[in-house]
Chains A and B, each alone.
Chain A
């Protein structure tokens, strides 16, 4: 690149409103001649020239673009005074730019911006919370995340699900709600009946020392298969109703991820079975052992950010595909469970490698413990879900199961 005139060119780095700033006045195209800054005018409020170092420093008050007028001379001829202009950009603090707009009051299938609850079963607690992210709040769209908590067979089984509606799917807020409720409801119903008894018996036998190949995996694969099918059926039914009511749409408008965990707590330990499709993360850990971590699913991702898979008909109709996504584990008493949508897992786990590292999981669990210890854990979780991490503004959902007999 060439410069059309031989005059020195001045530049100053960008600043940020409210943040301490110190930067030199950069000089280019001055050839061999030393340049001295004589005076600076037009600096934004909060910034001034450091007389000794010839730097601009201070804390700018507001965002804006400022034309700074410089007077300078050459060291070898200080009698001649020259002037130049350069631009000083003060960026706003991104936090101050986020708007909070409610979705339109007349939109179909509305959903509250946040939801949370605490369920106590004896010594065990389930804490769940889901919050609309800044990205949706900024444009006035709905929370696309959802969760489901249920119990079956006199509270022996717990059923936990989270879902994250696809951003490109128009009604995915409804999709995640339908899928979590239908799949969760189906699991609760089946586990409350003979199926639950069969599984409980098989688990008990295993925990008593029976090392024969148990039927729990087969049972759980069948259960999760039927639950996923129930989710698809619920969406199909909704589409049909909508058509009848003159609101054309198709199942693709309701696309969602789905992470599901069934837990059976006995005095011998926790039997955990999980099924997952999509991103987010689901894991088990034993708080008293910081080295413990059992991943209950492998998140679906692509080459680039934002690429994942969603619950779909083809998956549900393929038993081997379901089988590949189911994990069953026998875990020690006191094991805890965490289900996260990617709005939480993305910022909390810096890399994919971090997902298989117990440390960040235990750090997260410790924060959940603090929330559980407050007088009102559900609202405390909603506040916690507001944590600020630049670049991460998706809806956030967390379901925590604190085990123990």
Chain B
């Protein structure tokens, strides 16, 4: 059974407290709802969520979309932004879990990675090293979303060319962002079955492409 592994990294640092993290929760739920309406995604997507603040943690490992239940994601007060640790954890999990071609098992589709952060990495050196490793790996798509006024987009551009910025951290903005991620996942999973490249839909107006 060929899986499309989708990894979502969510910043739960202190600055995400309040409306921001609430909106992330709503956005994630809505995204999962709409993915469950898509036959490709329902059959192929396996999802894993990693959150990071002062440390990185895997909320749940790669789980078939049908079985995913999302607990409320919380942002502890005064947490830093250890994005480097999150990426290291991600790389470790990808190496452990994503199946490449072998005689014994069918290969997965190249995984999809979505990273969302509102600040700059507290563990900068770890971040730089991990970002270089991500660039060298085979992902179908890496989407990085910077959120709010304090994010450093140049950092995210070290991770991927596909960087977007959500300027206002409100409910509507997050809803829009997660709708776009949802469509991107759907498109990637539908194209996965047809040897296509993975062109993404343009992001909605609330989110601007950050070159």
Residues of A within 8 A of B (CB): 1-2, 4, 9, 11, 13-14, 16, 63, 65, 87, 89, 91-92, 94-95, 97-98, 133-136, 138-139, 144, 166-168, 301-308, 346, 350-353, 390-394
Contacts and interface: CB of A to CB of B under 8 A. Distances in A.
A135 B43 contact: no
A394 B109 CA distance: 14
Given A91-B66, A138-B39, A393-B40, A303 B195 contact: no
A168 B39 contact: no
B104 interface: yes
Given A89-B69, A306-B192, A97 B39 contact: yes
B125 interface: no
Contacts, number: 119
Given A13-B67, A97-B37, A351-B104, A304 B138 contact: yes
Contacts of A167: 191, 193-196
A304 B107 contact: yes
A199 to B, nearest CB: 34
A54 B66 CA distance: 23
B77 to A, nearest CB: 11
B122 to A, nearest CB: 20
Nearest to A395: B194
A136 B194 contact: yes
Contacts of A134: 39
Interface of B: 1-3, 33, 36-40, 42-44, 57, 59, 66-69, 71, 74, 76, 100-110, 138, 190-197
Contact of B108 (A11, A139, A304, A351): A304
Contacts of A394: 193-194
B101 A304 contact: yes
B100 A304 contact: yes
Contact of B39 (A65, A98, A350, A353): A98
Contact of A14 (B66, B100, B108): B66
Main secondary structure, interface of B, reads: loop
Contact of B106 (A87, A92, A351): A351
A51 B19 CA distance: 40
B74 A352 contact: no
A334 B76 CA distance: 72
A139 B138 CA distance: 27
Contact of A301 (B3, B101, B193): B101
Contacts of B108: 304-305
Contacts of B39: 94-95, 97-98, 134, 138
Contact of A303 (B2, B138, B197): B138
Given A135-B40, A351-B105, A393-B40, 16 more contacts: A1-B71, A1-B74, A14-B69, A89-B36, A89-B69, A94-B42, A98-B39, A134-B39, A138-B39, A167-B195, A168-B191, A303-B138, A304-B107, A306-B193, A351-B106, A352-B104
A144 B194 contact: yes
A351 B103 contact: yes
B20 to A, nearest CB: 16
Given A2-B74, A391-B1, A91 B104 contact: no
B69 A4 contact: no
B66 A16 contact: yes
